[in-house]
Amino acid sequence: MRTIAVTIACLALPLVAAGQNQTLASTMEVYVFPKEGQDAAQQSKDEAECYEWAAGNTGADPFNIADQQQADQQQAQAEQQAAKQAGSGSAARGAVRGAAAGALIGEIANDDASEGAAWGAAAGAIRGRRQGREAQQQAQQQAAAQAEQREEATEQQLTNFKNAFSVCLEAKNYMVKY
């Protein structure tokens, strides 16, 4: 627990090394103004305490959420690639099935299995392509819906964290907007 507090305290210090003067709150796009003239050191300490409190009470950590968002985006891309492959080979499978059915029908109808197989293969290929496109569209829609659900859940976690962080800072006499 001490390591976490030290890490959070280090994060709360202004980021001077990078040539920037950002507080912990500003890295999360939360704007904090001291109502009672708290100095920068006190504000950093208060932000670190509120960060720890908000993370503990919401179960969300904005820095982990950013990593989670990146992983979600990569997963969504992989799912879209897989969805593009859905239904591939459908025309060939349809042609084989159609040829088999056509051969059987051709043999029964006019004792010419080859002609029936040719017609069946053509019809099966067309049907297979259509089914393949439908399967691909359905897989892409499903992948997009899942990606959107993950994105909304992650965004809700971040909003919950910012609400908790803000409440804590407001209790310490800061004005907070995000």
Q: How open is the CA angle 153-154-158, to the nearest 5 degrees? A: 115
User: What's residue 89's pLDDT?
Assistant: 62
Q: Return d(Cα 136, Cα 145) in angstroms, integer.
A: 14
Report the domain count for the chain.
1
- On the CB side of 68, how many CA atoms lie within 13 Å of its CA? 15
- pLDDT tens digits, residue range 68-123? 778 878 887 887 777 667 655 666 666 666 666 655 555 556 666 676 666 666 67
The pTM for the full model equals: 0.58
Q: Residue 146: is its pLDDT beyond 80?
A: yes
Q: By residue range, what is the domain housing residue 168?
A: 2-177
